[in-house]
Amino acid sequence: MQKLQVKILMLCSLCYGILAMPRPPKKNEGGITPEDRKAAEVYLKNFYTLANKSRNTFEERLREMQRFFGMRVTGRLDNGTMTMMKTPRCGMPDMAAVRAVPGRPRWRQTSLTYRFVNFTPDLPQNMVTDSIKRAFDVWSQVTPLTFTQVGNGQADILIQFSSSGHNDGSAFDGRNGVLAHAYFPGSGIGGDAHFDEDETWTINRGGTNQA
């Protein structure tokens, strides 16, 4: 199990067979396989859609990603960039890509409510509620927004733990991939936050740290 912050998340694993290993896939000069290239294309499509459609080439999206993570900006897919793509992360586009969302969505009111739809069995409920409250308190310190938990009924933000497909069009991918995602402010699913129940959630110890 890895130890992470929900903000930026890291782990890679590589498994080798012991008997009758298949022929390794062909690699280019940078050690990148055709499968790596396909995975990179999906990653960049999911997290780096640029506002300028003429810049939405593979190379331009890759430069944007390398720039976001403070890597050497080359526009070339190499082992270091591929390793970064394979680290567990939030399911939202990175901040540079958020500019592509029309209208810059924002909350129409400053007093917001939130409600837990369910809880992970990995942690006591009070630890989950305290962790989420601390996260909202950080937002309140730097924005005009206030967040109040409600026990039932309607709420601006619904928080839930789900696995795989969960009826929002953004299925989770199992352990150690996308850890969570949230939606831009708005009606319906807008503002809601979903955590991947396939992860092992913890507070300040081994596993996926929710704090």
Domains of the chain with CATH codes:
34-87 (1.10.101.10), 111-196 (3.40.390.10)
Known binding-site residue numbers for Ca(2+): 122, 156, 173-174, 190, 192, 196, 199
**What distance in Å separates the CA atoms of residue 157 and residue 183, rounded to the nearest whole number?**
9
Known binding-site residue numbers for Zn(2+): 90, 166, 168, 181, 194
Give strand pairing partners of 114: 149, 157
- With beta carbons less than 8 A apart as the criterion, state whether 88 and 10 touch: yes
Residue type, 203: I
**What distance in Å separates the CA atoms of residue 100 and residue 52, rounded to the nearest whole number?**
8
**What distance in Å separates the CA atoms of residue 58 and residue 77, rounded to the nearest whole number?**
10
Match 């959630």 to its residue by tokens.
Answer: 201
pLDDT classification of 23: cutoffs 50, 70, 90: very low
- With beta carbons less than 8 A apart as the criterion, state whether 126 and 116 touch: no
pLDDT-above-70 percentage for the chain? 66
- With beta carbons less than 8 A apart as the criterion, state whether 208 and 2 touch: yes
Length of the chain: 211
pLDDT computed for residue 49 by the predictor: 73
pLDDT computed for residue 25 by the predictor: 42
Kindly report the three-state secondary structure assignment for every residue of 85-133. Answer: HCCCEECCCCHHHHCCCCCCCCCCCCEEEEEECCCCCCCCHHHHHHHHH
Greater confidence (190 vs 92) lies with 190
Is it the case that residue 21 has pLDDT exceeding 50? no
Mean pLDDT of the chain: 73
Q: What is the pLDDT of residues 126-161, one digit of tens each?
A: 999 999 999 889 888 878 889 999 999 999 999 989
Is it the case that residue 87 has pLDDT exceeding 90? no
Known binding-site residue numbers: 90, 122, 156, 166, 168, 173-174, 181, 190, 192, 194, 196, 199
pLDDT computed for residue 165 by the predictor: 65
- With beta carbons less than 8 A apart as the criterion, state whether 206 and 11 touch: no
